Amino acid sequence: FHVDDSEVTLNVCLGKQFSGGELYFRGIRCENHVNSETQHEEMYDYTHIPGQAVLHRGRHRHGARATSSGLRINLLLWCRSSVFREMKKYQKDFPSWCGECQREKRERQSQYVKATKMAFLRGAGGAMI
């Protein structure tokens, strides 16, 4: 898979008759997590339909399977935002859109809750409430 150098990508299927060439998506990631493992719920396959388009985030990890017959023709448009790119320079993590940042945040929250519970139980003399 790969990511595009765009904020949004439009992929228009112009081919007439072909087999194969399906797109597969494997989750949205920030620069720090682009090669992290894919979670099962992030896997999505899309079969092109001539005359229709797919619009997706450029950071959505994706690829295309081989075309097995016919000629697959696609028009790709990369849409970029200088404002978004400038904003990214000042962010440390991207929990609102990076699947791995979201997973790490949930894990930190879970660890914090466990640690707080253990500290509470130790403070209460280990008695269960």
Amino acid at 77: L
**Cβ count near 14 (within 10 Å):** 13
Distance of CA 118 to the CA centre of its chain: 34
pLDDT of residue 128 exceeding 90: no
Cα 38 to Cα 109: distance, rounded to the nearest angstrom: 21
Average pLDDT (66-75) is: 94
**Tokens standing for 96?**
């609102």
Domain boundaries, the chain: 8-92
pLDDT of residue 83 exceeding 90: no
Average pLDDT (84-91) is: 77
User: Strands 23-28 and 43-46: what pairing?
Assistant: antiparallel
DSSP code of residue 90: T
Residues 4-20: tens digit of each pLDDT: 999 999 999 998 899 99
